[in-house]
Amino acid sequence: MKISAALKPIKENMNPDDTKLSTLLHQGRVSPPLPPRFQENVWRRIDANAVPAKCDSWLDALAALVLRPRFAYATVTALVLAGALLGAHQGAQLAKQDAQARYVAMVAPNALR
Amino acid sequence: MNRSLIVVLGALALSAAVFAGSYFVGQRAGVIYCANPADDLSWLRTEFHLNDAELARVRQLHESYLPQCAKMCVLIAAKKAEIQAALANGTNVTAAAQEKLTELGEVRAQCQGQMLRHFIAVSQAMPPEEGRRYLAEMEKITLGSHEEIEQSMSDHPGHEHGTN
C-alpha cells in the first residue's frame, strides 16, 4: 500500500515520448557476451525438438480429420458398404461350396470313391 | 497418453468393428440368399446354367441313379464287414481275407463305372460346353481323390515303386 502510494507521483511524471530517457535506458542496458558456439547450440536444440513436434502435429492433424463429422460419416459408409459386399460375396461362395458338397456326397459318397 | 493418439486408435478400433460387423451380416445374408437346401440339384442349376427342361431331364436321371448308388453302398459296406471279420481272428492276411479284398475292389470298380456312366448321361443332358465342364469337374472329384492319395504315396520317401 505504501509502495504503490510512493510510486504514484513518479508514474504520473513519466513521459513515454521522452527520447532522452529512452536513449539513456538503452545505453544503461548491460549485454553480457554470448557463450562460445551459442548460435550453433541454438540451432542444434531447434533441430532436436523438430522431430517430436512434427510427429505430434501429424497425429493432431489426423485426429482432427477423424473427428470431422463429414469424414467420419463417409468412412463409416465406405466401411459398411465394403464389408457388406465382401461378406455377401464370401457368403455366396460358401453357399455354392456347400451345395456342391451336398450334390457330390449324394451321387458319389466317400465309400464309393 | 497423447489425446490425438487415443482418438486415432479409437477410430481405428471402431472402423475395424464396423467393417467386421458389416462383413458378418453380409456373409450371413449371402449364405441365406444363395443357399437352397430344399433342392439337391440347386448347385447344378446355378453352376451349369440349366434351364427348366434341362434340369427336369437331369432330375430324372438323378432320381433313377440314387437307388442304384444306394445298392452299391450296401454292397461295399457288406464287403468291408466281411474283410474285417476275416482279419479279426489273426495277424496275417489270410487267403480268405485276400479274396474279400479283391471282391471289394471289384465292387468298387463296378460302382465307379456306374458313377461315370451316370455323370456322362447327366453331361449329355446339359448344353455341350457345360456338359464337358460338368464331366471334368465330376471326374476330378470322384477319381481325383485316388490320384491324390497315390501321388502322395509316390512322393513319400521309401515309396518309389518301380523306380529302380
Contact indicator for B115, B142 with CB cutoff of 8 Å: yes
Asked if B23's CB is within 8 angstroms of A90's CB, the reply is yes
Q: What is the pLDDT of residues B85-141, one digit of tens each?
A: 888 877 788 888 888 899 999 998 888 889 999 999 999 999 999 999 999 988 887
Q: For residue A20, which amino acid is it?
A: K
- What is the ipTM, given to two decimal places? 0.75
Residue B5: which of A59, A89, A90 has the nearest Cβ? A59
pLDDT, residue B118, reads 93
CA atoms within 13 A on the CB side of A20: 2
What residues of A are in the B interface, CB distance below 8 Å? 56, 59-60, 62-63, 66-67, 72, 75-76, 79-92, 94-96, 98-100, 102-104, 106-109, 111-113
Give residue-wise pLDDT tens across range B54-79.
999 999 999 999 998 889 889 988 98
pLDDT of residue B164: 40
8 A C-beta contact, residue A79 and residue B19: yes
